[in-house]
Amino acid sequence: MAFISTAEACDTNVPLLASGDLRVLPPIFKIYGRSRAFSGPIATLKVFEDNVLVRELLETEGEGRVLVVDGGGSMRCALVGGNLGQLAQTMGWAGILVNGCVRDVDEINGCDIGVRALGSHPTKSSKKGVGEKHVAVHIGGTLICDGEWLYADSDGILISKCELSL
């Protein structure tokens, strides 16, 4: 997949920005992982302080997708750690966006995937298996639907209703 700069995507897709078909997430996410830039179709997940479903999805073939985890913005525990980062890399996921925290930052930074999260927290999550897969989520005031596209680089994160080309 060719790299698409988020700044260039915004400059060349003004009508999509105006219509809401291309949205910019607020600059609240920290950058983790070796892949500073990544993109792919989105698989969504809604959980709260429980990462059982995160593991379940990451155990499936990623096929270049990006897992978007709406963790409710919780800053009380981590939803993704080093083992899940390695699993995502092994299974072919392009990246993970977490509306919540990660842990094992040094391990995640050694993985060849892109990860964005609100921050890091050393506590692991609960393991109850509660949540929803492939549902619309709201992150940073932005509606994100399963099957849309995410583009991330050092400038920011874009959500698009369709695959972009420049």
User: Would you list which residues are annotated within the binding site for Mg(2+)?
Assistant: 104
State both tokens at 49. Answer: 């302080």
Q: Which amino acid is at 124?
A: K
Place of tokens 């099957």: 147
Chain position carrying tokens 């990860």: 115
Q: Binding site: which residues?
A: 81-84, 103-104
Are 107 and 32 contacting, i.e. CB atoms less than 8 angstroms apart? no
Handedness of CA 138, 64, 161, 119 (dihedral sign): positive
Residue 56: name the closest of 119, 135, 130 by CA. Answer: 130
* Binding site members for substrate: 81-84, 103
Please give the Cα distance from 45 to 164 (Å, whole number): 23
Cβ–Cβ < 8 Å for 116, 32 = yes
**Both tokens of residue 117?**
């999260």
